[in-house]
A = this chain, B = another copy of it.
Amino acid sequence: MRKILITNDDGFNSKGIEALATLMENFGKVTVVAPLEAQSGMSTALSIGKPLRFGKIESKSGRELFVCSGTPADCVKMSMNKIFTESPPSLLVSGVNHGSNTSVAALYSGTLGAAAEGTIYGIPSIAFSLSNFDQEADFSAVIHWGRAIIENFIEHPPLPGVYLNVNFPSLSKEEIKGVRFAHQGKGRWINEFEERVDPYGYDYYWMRGEFFNLEPSSRESDHNLIEGNYISIVPHTIDTTSREEKKRLNALWKFNTL
């Protein structure tokens, strides 16, 4: 039977991971290994110099459930070192994230960090995110469309070194126009901090910010596609070398004087 590892960055108790586990039980034996607490924005961060807790807990659904005190990437490492010691899982599925992970959010996302970590281990890995931050968001369209996405993923997985980033618009299954492959859009955040003063008179800052889209609206980036009511899929590579820049700079840089 196909072994499936499920993780996320919103924590083991989120509605999104429950929806994902329900979907994935159609495809094999699910093991959930999720962070104890919310780990949004943790990218591929690891807990170095900080001890980790890890253990099995009882789940309401009767599903195999482990929690880890660290990051999403820690969860994957812990799974590989402590659970899947005989043979790796056939698939890693991360999410469903509460909130989209398009454009540069791909660099910050813990949901994608877990998929990148799975890819380092050679496990076909895919991440699902829904463009809705609500804790009580409706995941029914994700479950509906996700089934066909997972069928394709199993039949034609990405090549080694590549993982998939799937973003769903926050719409009903009927309102979604379809699924499109895309590239990571250009963009950045602006107005990133809200400044406050604590009761003792000292400043502190909350990160927030607004997304500023730098991709022309005519181009089918991930961000533009979900804005246009499509599901977007971006294949991301863990080898982030720019071969073009390697060649170009190699021809220009000189070290004669040394």
Contact = CB atoms under 8 A, between A and B. Distances in A.
Interface of A: 38, 40-49, 51-55, 71, 73-74, 77-78, 80-82, 104, 106-108, 110, 113, 116, 120-121, 145, 148, 152, 155-156, 158-159, 161-162, 178-179, 181-184, 186, 188-189, 191-193, 196, 202-207, 233-243, 245-246, 248-250, 252-255, 257-258
Contact of A207 (B77, B186, B248): B77
Copies of this chain in its oligomeric complex: 2
Contact of A108 (B45, B159, B184, B205): B45
Contacts of A51: 196, 204-206
A154 B73 CA distance: 35
Contacts of A243: 183
Contact of A184 (B49, B54, B148, B239): B239
Given A51-B204, A158-B249, A255-B178, A108 B240 contact: no
A185 B240 CA distance: 10
B252 A245 contact: no
Contacts of A254: 152
Contacts of A178: 255, 258
B237 A242 contact: yes
A24 to B, nearest CB: 18
15 contacts: A47-B207, A53-B202, A74-B207, A77-B193, A77-B207, A145-B258, A148-B257, A152-B252, A152-B253, A152-B255, A159-B248, A235-B246, A236-B241, A237-B245, A240-B240
Q: What are the 10 closest A-B residue pairs judged by CB atoms, nearest first?
A: A235-B245, A41-B48, A43-B43, A41-B46, A45-B45, A152-B253, A156-B252, A183-B241, A181-B250, A237-B242
Contacts of A246: 181-183, 234-235
Contacts of A191: 81
